[in-house]
Amino acid sequence: MTDHRIILLCVIPLVASLVSIALINRRAWSRLVGVLSFTMMLGLAFSLVLKITDAPEEQSVLVSQMGGWTAPFGISIIFDSLSGLLICAAAAVGLGAYIHSFSILDPRTERRYYHPLMQMLMFGVNLSFMTGDLFNLFVAFEIMLMASYALLVIGTSLKQLRQAYKYILLNVLASTIFLMGAGMVYGMFGTLNIADLARIIAEIEADPTRQLPAGFNALAVMFLLVFGLKGAFFPLWFWLPDTYYTIPISIAGLFGGLLTKVGVYTVARLFPLIFSSNGDMMTNSAGQWVGGTSSVIMIILAVAAAFTMFLAVLGAVSQHNVRKILAVHVISQVGYMVFGIAVMSGHALAGCAFYMVQHMVVKCALFLCCGVMEKHAGTDDLDSLGGLLKRDWPLAVLFFIAAMSLVGLPPLSGFFGKMVIIREGFAEDLWILGVIGLVTGALTLLSMLKIWSYGYWNPDKAPTVSQPQAVKSSCRSAYAGIVMLVGFALFLGFGAEAVYKVANRAGEQLENPKTYITAVLGEGAYEQVDVLIAARTVEPEEQVAESIAAPQVSTEETGPEDEQAASELPQDLAKRLIVENPPYTVSIPLGKHGSIIAEQAVSTQGALWPMPWITQTDTGWEVIEE
């Protein structure tokens, strides 16, 4: 269903960043613009999610084609349940971290384009959640990464600079591989639109006479490498703990909540849609099994999930430093999400979506708590912390709720996500992963209790760096940010049924891509796949031969209007349109996509783009020369 409002989710932060560049020297105004932008994003995303949650299936995916160019050619912006959930969570996390940063960052740092960079980061994040095009995804990633590079070195201490090189070089390398992967996809399939790719691949899979091009599995692994690096999967997570250790804590909270999840989201979006061909469907014409992508990918994902969960949580247990514990925990929790994707059933993906949302909120809240703890003690080393329960009981309560949500104690939010994922793991014979997940949960509890007992329960041993009252009054906005995020976390826990309904829908849409493909490419785009699958299941030999012998351009694909339009065309033009715009002559085949262009040309006839040189007359179509 078309809804052009969804692009506003990208436009709002863009405009806000421009306004805050103009207001660069006025701190209060910049902050106001930023808060307004985050609130508007949150409100809009929330209302759109409400709108699509109870909608019938054909209205549950909102699409906007940029510039009116139809799907495989233009840029599609797509808002479905998964994107909606994540954008809501991203806006909430952004708002919390942003408010928190008012009492953490010093004014000089804030003037160094902090406000515009935050908005640009949100622009990149929202665009990568919504884009329906592989190359556009690359661009969105780069926008997000450029903003994150700059935020990473904001304040420019030498330690930050040193870590920044590591982060930047790794990400540039990953982006380069991504770019080459996109080029390879284009070379193999001639399209970069995700829905179109999914359609083509599904058709090839369903058709016993065709097979996927050589190197397709390598391509899948290449993409997994890229997104694994961004999402910090095993063994590509070494960059994360050091990077998050040196930056201002509010920004660390935002990065910990958002950035890795963008990588995970991309895996959750692309792999069930594109790289999930079943092994048993992949037989060539001689009947030999040629190996499916999912058999390769599932093993890699499962191994990555197991090691990410377990090794990272061991790392967290061994750390003695609040920030490092939290940063390493980011990785360990990513393991659960990868677990959900590795199972690749609808419910597991739903659990993964729910877990991603709750993890973004809770992890960011924990980082923000850590910021206030640092203000109290002047350090985040557990040995010098202590007595925070007496000094600042509201912070202790907030931290405890967030920590227990992360561990996953019922009825807090982490429980539901983990429960669904682990249950699906046992159901799908990945019981080893399930067991590892449970053990990881116990170790998470251990490391969270470590922070709790050292930081909050132990007697106050260090000479107080600052008076509790002074810290409390200087950190008002920090508390506001934490309270907001913990409130969200509680809502995710106690309102889990409502949220899980949306997540469940997201899982269904990921498992069965028909809704997505139809919404992007238009009615009938998936019919060929259905026909082929039906032919396979009923009469393997005769039916397939028939459906292949029949010409596939036929009018049944293109709908009644095109049929009519095609009949009005002269015989010669019925097959192609020759578009002359001296000195170029372009001929466009009137097939599946060609007819779409022709239709568009008619609907925008006159002096409008595209193709003002084609007009429809009484007798048919006329190509005029400029």
Partner 1 sequence: MMSSPILRTANGIIFPLTLLFAFYMALKGHNFPGGGFIGGLIAAVALMLFRMSHGRDAMTRLMPIHPRVIVAAGLAIATLTGLFPMIYGPFFSVEQEAMPMLRSFAPYVNLGVGEPVHMPSALFFDLGVLLVVIGVSVGMIVRLGEEIAPDEEEVAQA
Partner 2 sequence: MTMVLAICVAVTFAVSIYLMLGRELKGVAMGVFLLGHAANLSIIAMSGSPVQTDAQQQTAEHAGVHLTSVDSPEMKDPPILTNQYANEQPLAQMVDPLPQALILTAIVIGFGVMAFLLTLLVVTNRKARTIEVSDLAEEAREA
Give the residue from 347, 491, 336 showing the smallest Cα distance to 407: 336
Q: Considering the complex, state which of residue 57 and residue 381 has its C-beta at the smaller distance from partner 2.
A: 381
Taking the CB of residue 234, how many other CB atoms lie within 10 A of it? Answer: 21
Burial (CB count within 10 angstroms: exposed 0-12, middle 13-18, buried 19+), residue 184: middle
User: With the C-alpha atoms ordered 562, 567, 570, 575, is the resulting torsion angle positive or negative?
Assistant: positive
State the minimum distance, in angstroms, from the CB of residue 220 to partner 1: 32
Please choose which of partner 1, partner 2, none residue 169 contacts, taking the beta carbon within 5 to 8 angstroms, the exact cut-off set by kind: partner 2
Q: CB under 5 to 8 A by kind: which of partner 2, partner 1, none does 164 bind? A: partner 2
141 phi, psi to nearest 5 deg: -60, -45
Give the residue among 97, 12, 30, 7 at the shortest CA–CA distance from 370. 97
Task: Show contacts with partner 1 in window 56-85 (CB under 8 A).
Answer: 64-68
366 in Cβ contact with 250 (< 8 Å): no
From the list 46, 73, 307, 400, which residue makes contact with partner 2 (rule: CB under 8 A)? 73
Pair 330, 363: CB distance under 8 Å: yes
Structure tokens at 27: 């701190």
* Count of chain residues binding partner 2 (CB under 8 A): 59
For residues 151 and 450, give the distance between their C-alpha atoms in angstroms, rounded to a whole number. Answer: 30
Residues 6+ apart with CB under 8 A from 32: none
- The site map against partner 1 for 154-173 (x = CB under 8 A) is --------------------
CB atoms within 10 A of CB 142: 17
For residue 220, the one-letter residue type is A
- Structure-block tokens of residue 57: 């299936």
Q: Residue 566 binds what, of partner 2, partner 1, none (CB under 5 to 8 Å, by partner type)?
A: none
The reply on whether position 2 binds partner 1 by CB under 8 A is yes
Least Å from the CB of residue 575 to partner 2: 8
Single-letter code of the amino acid located at 67:
G
Shortest Å, Cβ 582 to partner 2:
10
Q: Which residues of 396-421 are buried (b: 16+ CB within 10 A; e: fewer)?
A: bebbbbbbbbbbbeeebbbbbbbbbb
| One residue of 19, 144, 164, 502 binding partner 2 per CB under 8 A | 164
Instruction: Select the residue interacting with partner 1 from 543, 576, 612, 616 (CB under 8 A).
Output: 612
**Residue 27 near which of partner 1, partner 2, none (CB within 5-8 Å, type-dependent):** none
Q: Among residues 26 and 166, whose Cβ is nearest to partner 2?
A: 166
Region near partner 2 per CB under 8 A, out of 162-170, 228-236, 408-416, 482-490: 162-170
**Residue 586, strand partner residues:** 579
CA distances from residue 493 to 265, 361, 402 in whole angstroms, order as listed: 21, 12, 11
281 makes contact, choosing from partner 2, partner 1, none, with CB < 5 to 8 Å by partner type, with: none
Site for partner 2 in 122-161 (CB under 8 A): 135, 138-139, 142, 146, 149-150, 153, 156-159, 161
Report the residue number, 189 or 367, with the smaller CB distance to partner 2.
Answer: 189
Binding-site residue total for partner 1 (CB under 8 A)?
20
For partner 1, give the closer residue by CB, 66 or 225.
66
**What string marks each residue from 464 to 503 as x (binds partner 1 by CB under 8 A) or -?**
----------------------------------------
Minimum Å gap between C-beta 78 and partner 1 is 13
- Residue 2: name its binding partner from partner 1, partner 2, none (Cβ under 5 to 8 Å by kind): partner 1
Q: Does 188 bind partner 2 (CB under 8 A)?
A: yes
Pick from 231, 229, 418, 446: nearest CA to 319: 446
- Enumerate residues 385-414 that contact partner 1 by CB under 8 A: none
Tally of CB atoms within 10 A around 273 = 20
Please give the residues from 6 up to 45 whose contact with partner 1 meets the rule CB under 8 A: 7, 11, 14-15, 18, 21-22, 24
Instruction: Report, in Å, the least distance between residue 171 CB and partner 1.
Output: 20
The encoded tokens of residue 90 equal: 């991203």
Binding flags for partner 1, 573-592, as an x/- string (CB under 8 A): --------x-----------
Tokens 């390879």 sit at which residue?
184
Q: What φ, ψ does residue 154 adopt, rounded to 5°?
A: -65, 130
**Residue 91 sits in the site that holds partner 2 (CB under 8 A):** no
Distance CA 333, CA 83 (A): 20
User: Is 590 among the residues that bind partner 2 (CB under 8 A)?
Assistant: yes
CB–CB of 92/148 below 8 Å?
no
176 burial level (CB within 10 Å; 0-12, 13-18, 19+): exposed
Q: Which of 523, 594, 524, 512 is nearest to 2 (CA)?
A: 523
**Rounded CA separation 405/413 (Å):** 5
User: What residue 11 binds from partner 1, partner 2, none (CB within 5 to 8 A, per partner kind)?
Assistant: partner 1
Q: Does 607 bind partner 1 (CB under 8 A)?
A: yes
Residues that bind partner 1 (CB under 8 A): 2, 4, 7, 11, 14-15, 18, 21-22, 24, 64-68, 581, 607-609, 612
Residues that bind partner 2 (CB under 8 A): 73, 135, 138-139, 142, 146, 149-150, 153, 156-159, 161-162, 164-165, 168-169, 172-173, 175-176, 179-180, 182-184, 186-192, 200, 203-204, 210-213, 528, 551-553, 575-576, 584-594
